[in-house]
Amino acid sequence: MENQTIKRNEKKYATLLHLSVFAKYFIPFGNFVMPIILWSTKKGTSDYIDHNGKQVLNFQLSILTYSLLLLIFAVPLIVYFAFNSIGFKEIENGNILIQEIAAGNIPNLVIVAAISVSLYAIMKLAEFFIIIYEAIKANNGEPVEYPFTINYLK
């Protein structure tokens, strides 16, 4: 983003734009809906607001992508370890017992689940603090660039 004089109301609006992501705690998909509404109403009037809106939405789309990838990798691993000791004959006969599923694979299931939950928790905690940090930068008129962001909107 080019160095330019940024008006005080643009800084406040950009800060509100960043913090609007927290609407997800009150409204389903509020982390997308609120920033899109705020960004689309002012993106044509200010390059600073346009840049910040794109950064917010790109970061939220990136977090969604990372969450889905974690889910895509974790669920098959959990299912694999859960059914690893069961043969096809038992499945065909319908003799699957919950004890057989969980008996020998609890350590593997616990490890995969613990890693998945830990990664997700770390990602969500980092997201919370990164949003606040970037909102403060926007309020100070500094250039905002979210880390680990895939640029969907350019």
pLDDT tens, 99-120?
A: 455 455 567 677 877 888 899 9
| Whether the Cβ atoms of residue 112 and residue 74 lie closer than 8 Å to each other | yes
| Whether the Cβ atoms of residue 131 and residue 19 lie closer than 8 Å to each other | yes
| Whether the Cβ atoms of residue 79 and residue 112 lie closer than 8 Å to each other | no
In this predicted model, which residue has the larger pLDDT, 96 or 129?
A: 129
Q: What is the pLDDT of residues 29-66, one digit of tens each?
A: 999 999 999 999 998 899 999 999 999 999 999 999 99
Residue 140 in tokens = 């100070």
pLDDT beyond 90 at 131: yes
Return the top range by mean pLDDT from 70-74, 114-118, 138-142.
138-142
107: three-class secondary structure by DSSP: helix
| Whether the Cβ atoms of residue 101 and residue 83 lie closer than 8 Å to each other | yes
